[in-house]
Amino acid sequence: MVKMLEKFLEGKGALITGGASGFGKGFGFAYAKRGADVILVDINEEKLERTTAEIKKETGRTVIPIKCDVAESDQVQSMAKQAFSELDNIFILNNNAGIGVPYGPDLLRLKEKDWDMQFNINLRGQWLVSKYISKRMKKQTFEPLAGKIIHTASIAGMIVDNKIPAYSLCKMGVIGMVKLLAQSLAPKITVNAISPGYHVTGVYNDSEEAMLMTMEDGHVKTPLNRLGTVDDIVQVSLFLASPLSNFITGANIPVDGGIAKAGVPAYYIKTDI
Ligand X SMILES: NC(=O)c1ccc[n+]([C@@H]2O[C@H](COP(=O)([O-])OP(=O)(O)OC[C@H]3O[C@@H](n4cnc5c(N)ncnc54)[C@H](O)[C@@H]3O)[C@@H](O)[C@H]2O)c1
Residue type, 63: V
Q: How many residues bind ligand X (CB under 6 A)?
A: 30
Torsion over CA: 89, 44, 22, 220 (sign):
negative
Contact call for residue 130 and ligand X (CB under 6 A): no
Spell out, one character per residue from 188 to 217, where the chain touches ligand X: x when CB under 6 A holds, - when not.
--------x-xx-xxx--------------
- Smallest distance from ligand X to CB 48, Å: 8
Helix, strand or coil, per DSSP, at residue 205: coil
Nearest-CA neighbor of 69 among 37, 98, 49? 98
- Smallest distance from ligand X to CB 244, Å: 23
Q: Taking a C-beta distance cutoff of 8 angstroms, is the pair 153, 252 a contact?
A: yes
Spell out, one character per residue from 2 to 31, where the chain touches ligand X: x when CB under 6 A holds, - when not.
---------------xx-xxxxx-------
H or E element at residue 254 = strand 252-255
Torsion over CA: 92, 185, 170, 236 (sign):
negative
Q: Which of 9, 14, 40, 71 binds ligand X (CB under 6 A)?
A: 71
Q: How far apart are CA 170 and CA 218, in angstroms?
A: 19
What residues act catalytically?
Answer: 167
Closer CB to ligand X, 190 or 201, in the complex:
201
Closer CB to ligand X, 185 or 230, in the complex:
230
